Structure 1
Amino acid sequence: MIFSMTGYAARTRDIECGSLHLELKSVNSRYLDFQFRICEELRVAEPALRELISARLSRGKIECRLNFIPAATKAVPQALSGELLARLADFDAQVRAALPHAAPLSVGEVLRWPGMFGDDSLDVEALVPEALALLRAALDDFTASREREGAKLADVIRERVARIREHVRLVTPLIPAAQAAFQDKLRQRLLDALGSVDDERVRQELVLFAARIDVDEELARLTTHLDEVERVLKAGGATGKRLDFLMQELNREANTLGSKSVLSAVSQTAMDLKLLIEQMREQIQNLE
């Protein structure tokens, strides 16, 4: 399977004390980068979340958002904590004795004081396993979305490979005759320019020139690199870096093909190949 580095998934999990909401999204990156936006209650879970994600993904800039929404408070509150109320009154008296102009605690502030209606603290240790279970489910969706996107990108790359092969197939038969005709013209020019120089000197010059314009090796390497691109796509997995290297090699051969060209059709083919290679490279930048 081929995976894109672009993906998205969101999951919500209802639990007794409220609900957890997790969102994953990613874009392309040379490495595996993380950006966590986690509520304070679950900040302690970040290392475990990071470990889970690292086990499933190898490249991409990953943004993970995790929020906890507490359950709605009951309509009828519990009894006030008498002990806490007495302590607050004592603290209030001490503060006002030291600072006579300080405002007293309001009723609203007293009612909102943590623990005023009993032990309302959150059991973070119980929340962490729930958050990890939520992440596992979200990662399944996330990986599936990246796989769907990766399959589309692979189809685009295969289509460009087929077009490059067709360009090479059409231009290859034209090259020998064009090179032979160009060498005949060059031979005549050399004879005209050198005058009395013997024919062996002309022959040597033509042999050297023929070696400089020979593109058989470039065409063979183009075909070999295209075969490797298709092999890598078929093998699947983390293919981005390998394919990016192959694009560099394909572009190198296309440049050499253009520089050695003695036929306008070959020069145009070299330009077409470079365009198709660049289109593939742009798609490959998004592959894991």
Structure 2
Amino acid sequence: MTSMTGYGFGEVQTLDFVLSVEVKSYNNRFLEIAHVMPPSFSLFEAEIDSSVKAVASRGRVEVNVKFKSLRSQVQVTVDEGMLAQYAEAVSKIEKITGKQVVFSFADLCAVQNLISETNDLEADAYRPALKEALDIAMKQFAKSRKVEGEATYNDLVRLLDGLSQSFDVVKTDAGKIEDSLRESLLAKFAELLKDRGYDEGRFLQEVAILLVKYSINEEICRLTSHITEAYRLINGDEPCGKKMDFLCQEMNREINTIGSKNILVEISQKVVTMKDCLENIREQIRNIE
């Protein structure tokens, strides 16, 4: 079982740069991947998404890529031919005017195309480093989701066991509903009709009709099947969050029907316990794939 929440961090450092990848995820109905990275690294989005999809099938996954250069990425170049021409022109001006011409660095920078800057950050060159950092982060990410998933699994087993134990009491006491209803109706009708008499055969027929109406045997059969399926799902290898969510809706329907038909205090108490367990189960499965 795998949780939808997880965290991983990977970093690669060289003499020239530090590149890190942070991955974290939260609960979400579907798989959604968000990226935060330098614009020049956007060409890696498809590779990042592929790595995420290999680990996660549901949840909002945020991937944060950071790049820090430990040396300047800017290369300054001087057009030496143009500079030589300007130097020759200045020499002629000084010779003609007899005055020294002084140029500041700012004056030189103002000359168009004399001094130019280029950024040598080519993102593709950092692909191996990104892959290494991403692999480290994804391994941590997958492990953290697995660890949290195991904790959730243990809690789900505990809650399902609690629901099953209460349900066992309901199944044991289900027959008492019919006995209690029959005895109650017999006593009531006998009191009402004691002076006039009544057709016991007809009465028992009417009681049988009521017993069918108040019987919880069908609900017991369906709920038994749902609980068995829930144990199978959480012990399987496939993501089960969506299926468990649907199964909880079905179990809730059967438990509510049992509660509405029931006339025994002891069953009512167990219905409350089953509802409480089921609500906690539904909370937990919101965290799993």
TM-score by length of 2: 0.81
Q: Give the letter for the 1:41 counterpart.
A: S
Q: Deviations over 1:230-270 (max 9, x none)?
A: 11111122111111111111111111110110101111211
The alpha-carbon distance between structure 1 residues 116 and 271, as it changes in their structure 2 partners (threshold 3 A), is farther
Point out the more displaced range, 8-17 or 244-253.
Answer: 8-17
Report the secondary structure of 2:68's partner residue.
Answer: strand
Shift of 1:209: 1.1
Q: Deviations over 1:40-96 (max 9, x none)?
A: 22122112212221232110001110011112349xx98x52219969xx9xxxxxx
Instruction: Return the alpha-carbon distance in structure 2 between the equivalents of residues 84 and 29 of structure 1.
Output: 60
Q: Secondary structure at the match of 1:278?
A: helix
Structure 1 stretches lacking a partner, 5+ long: 91-104
Instruction: Give yes or no for the alignment of 1:35 onto 2:31.
Output: no
Q: Which residue matches 1:221? A: 222
Structure 2 residue aligned with 1:158: 157
**59-68 or 233-242, larger mean C-alpha shift:** 233-242
Tell whether 2:250 aligns with 1:283: no
Partner of 2:96: none
CA distance 1:169–1:116, change in 2 (3 Å): farther
Aligned counterparts of 2:81 and 2:130: Cα–Cα separation in 1: 35
* In structure 2, C-alpha distance between the alignment counterparts of 1:136 and 1:259, rounded to whole Å: 54
Residue number in structure 2 paired with 1:98: none
Tell me, in whole angstroms, the C-alpha distance in 1 between the residues paired with 2:145 and 2:81: 55
> How far apart, in 2, do the equivalents of 1:37 and 1:57 lie?
18
Which segment drifts farther, 21-30 or 184-193? 184-193
Query: Is 1:83 equivalent to 2:79 in the alignment?
Result: yes
Alignment map for 1:231-250 (pairs within 5 Å): 231-250=232-251
Partner of 1:262: 263
* Structure 2 residue aligned with 1:9: 8
CA offset digits 1:115-155 (Å, max 9, x no partner): 96976411222113431332122111101100000000010
Q: CA deviation at 1:286?
A: 0.7
Instruction: Give CA-to-partner distance per residue, 1:144-178, whole Å, 9 cap, x none.
Output: 10000000001000001111121123343333234
User: What is the alpha-carbon distance in structure 2 between the residues aligned to residue 184 and residue 241 of structure 1?
Assistant: 45
Partner of 1:130: 129
Alpha carbons 2:78, 2:116 under 8 Å: kept: no
Q: TM-score, normalised by structure 1?
A: 0.81
Corresponding letter in the other structure for 1:81 = T
Shifted more, 51-60 versus 256-265: the winner is: 51-60
State the distance in 2 between where 1:284 and 1:84 align: 69
Specify the alignment match of 1:62 in structure 2.
61
Aligned CA RMSD, in angstroms, stands at: 3.0
**Hey, what's the Cα distance between the residues in 1 that align with 2:2 and 2:213?**
42
Q: Give the aligned residue type for 1:268.
A: Q
Q: Secondary structure at the match of 2:288?
A: coil
For the 8 Å contact 2:169–2:267, the answer to whether it is kept is no
1:33–1:59 Cα contact (<8 Å) kept: yes
Quick check: 1:31–1:61 contact (8 Å CA) kept in 2? yes
Fraction of identical pairs, as percent = 27
Opposite residue 167 of structure 2, the aligned amino acid is V
User: Structure 1 residue 212: deviation in Å?
Assistant: 1.8
Amino acid in the other structure paired with 2:248: M
The DSSP-based 3-state class of the residue aligned with 1:19 is: strand
Q: Is the 8 A contact 1:41 1:68 kept in 2?
A: no
For the residue of structure 2 that corresponds to 1:57, the secondary structure is coil
8 A Cα contact 1:3 1:237, kept in partner:
no
Tell me whether 208-217 or 62-71 shows the greater mean CA deviation. 208-217
Q: 1:86 to 1:286 in 2, by over 3 A?
A: farther
Report the 3-state secondary structure (helix = DSSP H, G, I; strand = E; otherwise coil) of the residue aligned with 2:54: helix
3-state SS, counterpart of residue 52 of structure 2: helix
Question: Number of matched residues?
Answer: 264
Q: Which has the larger radius of gyration?
A: 2
2:20 match: 21
Amino acid at match of 1:264: V
The corresponding residue for 2:181 is 182
What is the aligned partner in structure 2 of residue 143 from structure 1?
Answer: 142
